[in-house]
Structure 1
């Protein structure tokens, strides 16, 4: 062991001498570093090895690198990196390699080595580390994705990234995240080529000698990924995730249209598809000539009406309407309850649409408890006390075991000073414990109003 340690220390001497010679470290500091390194080396070569000793060694060497970097900047010396930093980086990777060989299952060790090589720009070593890591951990999709991104972003190699994604799909043929990132990578590759072509054309350089395939530039490779993914993974949610990725890039209109057409034809029974199509109508860009406030308001009304038409068509087409009703109601609750800047006409139309769909959902027995509370808020804000009283009572009949529903309805009737409050309180006593929730949540005057009607 002593011979090995001695050899390791001798290997350090040239770099340490350079540090002193160029003025980055003093003689005293070099001796201190050698002493510290000796202690660390002996720990790594003990019979019983500790992972913490390896981590401490690596961290010490990284700290030395950081200190060298700071001192170079301070004195303005930027030479002899091959003789100073490179041996340290090589040594750190060697210790990382020993650690990951002994503790193969420790993913954090692998990731630390990846992060180290990314930071210090050792691209060739980075690729080797990624390859070794994936050979040990092929069952982790996130590592494949990270490795492909490193190849794409750090090594600027789309081909290597593509190769890694294809290998990942052999291990994880139905993994959504792998397909999503592979799809994104192909679009990024096409975008990069398009920018390169544009820069060459602006510089008036003949692009004929460059291999700019029109198919690749238009995103055909991404379309191949999409079609493969769509065959293996079903569901509108996944297809929509690919559509949203494609929408990030400004050259994918044809690809988006293809995905959208297949989404509509293949997922007619999926409420997420209908929700997306409805919101798409709502988000459609208005005509540029609509500059006046009245014109914009009119356009908003038309878009909302088209959105409602899609939702109502969905309710007719789907066997179960509960989810689409939730999608349908929420936007209108948001607009009506939280926006007070609408013109009177728009506000009235939104309220009518909202009340109509709430009533339809109630009639179909599809309305959830939380929506009854919002229904009451809308009616109260509109001053419709008669309807509010009726819905407050109806809600307790639909959710007779809900303490919150009884409490909210009672508070509503007390607020309205309704003569039905006492009767509803008596009904509440039959279903829930008023001492727990109902009575404490009422005001003192409200409680007196209720008890006045009791026998």
Structure 2
């Protein structure tokens, strides 16, 4: 083995010398290249040969080749390419061929070699590589697709390409890849169709061939999504209309319960691709759209219950789009509105209408009708926050307190801890009516609700009390709420803010607010301690203020978790520096 490696290394001498002479690489770099190649040579010439070693050696040489190209461009060195690049290319090819002798059945290696031959313009070698791939890796359908593409696109030989694909399909009767490629190649035959040389009968012949493929697809695969994919592929080729009709017939026979089938057929009608009626007569956009809607309706009567909701959404989207683009279809606004409202009503009655369509429905009706629709919506979707918000909003617009109270209470029952937006709307409604008695009752009720609600309403309540009934009432309620669990940090911040806005400060009461905040949240919150310190630095500047601040600092150190100590000290230092 050592002698073989030595011979290979000696064969690189001229190449390495040219690299040095043309100053592509320094001596240090060349020594490293030689060392790396020698290590690879020992690996691939050892007793136990490993495909990974071959791949890594080949990749190294490819990277080296690219690096040489870049250095030539950068330093404008054009000489001695045959002595350097061509030798590296030959080495890479030899490495591939040696590896393939041992690992002929490895598709990734075969494919890599084929691509290398194509890129290096080794046409004969690429042809041989394709033949060997077919011979050694026939169990992989990708091989047949690669081979067909080579003959069709690189060798411009469609007949051989189709022959290869048909051989592949005899082995892989359920390969979507090969059927798609075969149909595409048949269509490409028509792209190059010349009536003089090919005759007028070629479209029919190609159509028959594609029909044969479609029959095999239906027998061997029978996947409606794949059939639709092929149907879309054929759509722009008018001569394939008989095949398209055959595929639609198969879809209706075997997959009529699928939503995607009816969506496809409806959209084809919209584009003027009609099934079951003559296409000879030119139809208007309005006619096409009408046929589209009819196809959706037929589908809704035939799809499975599991897929009906999805088809309803697609049908309604189509109706909404038609309403927006009605002018392009020659429709009147009233026509589209009536159609859409009727469909929304039917979907709602069948319990298939989703939240966004209920909201869309509101755009088409009067306020009184809207409230009725929202009653249906919240009944069908009782946990929809948006629908309850809209229902309460429309109830407030009727200006009937009893109706508003009824909707609000029903919404609370359904939404529970997610009902906060309703509380805000309800409070605003009675604020506009200047009903302080009702607002007080609402807040009193809200602060007893789960934490998601009470935590937000408590601070708002004392702020409202301060404005509506005075600071003394607000203070009294604050102390009551502050000592009730679950504790609310925002309540303390709001009370402190209220105390700061008073003309005559109650420093003793204000200090108690900060003390309560530190007592309840001091283990996990740095800011309550900093706010307490800032209170003395900015407001309550008594003679012994430094002593009080030091006491708070010590208490914070003893209370805060170790992870928060550094954050506290940093904020404390900043607070002192700003004095």
Q: TM-score, length-normalised on structure 2?
A: 0.58
Q: Larger RCO: Structure 1 or Structure 2 (Cα < 8 Å, ≥ 6 residues apart)?
A: 1
Q: State the match for 1:332 in structure 2.
A: 319
Quick one: distance in 2 between partners of 1:280 and 1:140? Answer: 35
SS of the equivalent of 2:419 reads coil
Larger Rg: 2
Q: State the match for 1:149 in structure 2.
A: 149
Q: State the match for 2:158 in structure 1.
A: 158
SS of the equivalent of 1:409 reads helix
Q: Given the superposition, is the C-alpha separation of residues 8 and 97 from structure 1 closer, same or farther in structure 2, using an over 3 Å criterion? A: same
Q: State the match for 1:125 in structure 2.
A: 125
Does the CA-based 8 Å contact 1:373-1:408 persist in structure 2?
no
Alignment of 1:80-95 (within 5 A): 85-95=85-95
Does the CA-based 8 Å contact 2:234-2:240 persist in structure 1?
yes
Q: Given the superposition, is the C-alpha separation of residues 188 and 37 from structure 1 closer, same or farther in structure 2, using an over 3 Å criterion? A: farther
Q: CA RMSD in A?
A: 4.4
SS of the equivalent of 2:332 reads helix
Does the CA-based 8 Å contact 1:414-1:421 persist in structure 2?
yes
Which deviates the most, 441-450 or 160-169? 441-450
Alignment of 1:45 onto 2:34: no
Alignment of 1:358 onto 2:358: no
Q: Given the superposition, is the C-alpha separation of residues 427 and 218 from structure 1 closer, same or farther in structure 2, using an over 3 Å criterion? A: same
Q: Which residues of structure 2 form unaligned runs of 5+?
A: 274-282, 431-437, 446-579
Q: State the match for 1:294 in structure 2.
A: none
Alignment of 1:360-439 (within 5 A): 360-365=346-351, 367-369=352-354, 372-379=355-362, 381-400=363-382, 403=383, 405=384, 407-416=385-394, 417=396, 420-432=403-415, 434-435=416-417, 437-439=418-420
Quick one: distance in 2 between partners of 1:27 and 1:135? Answer: 42
Q: Deviations over 1:214-239 (max 9, x none)?
A: 53796243343233223333254333
Quick one: distance in 1 between partners of 2:55 and 2:114? Answer: 14
Quick one: distance in 2 between partners of 1:86 and 1:257? Answer: 54
Q: Which residues of structure 1 form unaligned runs of 5+?
A: 202-206, 286-297
Q: State the match for 1:292 in structure 2.
A: none
Quick one: distance in 2 between partners of 1:30 and 1:157? Answer: 50
SS of the equivalent of 1:45 reads helix
Q: State the match for 2:176 in structure 1.
A: 176
SS of the equivalent of 1:243 reads helix
Q: State the match for 2:191 in structure 1.
A: 191
Q: Given the superposition, is the C-alpha separation of residues 398 and 11 from structure 1 closer, same or farther in structure 2, using an over 3 Å criterion? A: same
Does the CA-based 8 Å contact 2:412-2:419 persist in structure 1?
no
Q: Deviations over 1:241-267 (max 9, x none)?
A: 22221234xxx4222233224513661
SS of the equivalent of 2:173 reads coil
Quick one: distance in 1 between partners of 2:121 and 2:294? Answer: 56
- The alpha-carbon deviation at position 356 of structure 1 amounts to 0.9
Equivalent pairs counted in the alignment come to 411
- The alpha-carbon deviation at position 146 of structure 1 amounts to 3.8
Does the CA-based 8 Å contact 1:9-1:38 persist in structure 2?
no
Q: Given the superposition, is the C-alpha separation of residues 179 and 28 from structure 1 closer, same or farther in structure 2, using an over 3 Å criterion? A: closer
One of 270, 278, 296 as aligned partner of 1:282: 270
Q: Deviations over 1:331-355 (max 9, x none)?
A: 123454x669889963332222111
- The alpha-carbon deviation at position 213 of structure 1 amounts to 9.3
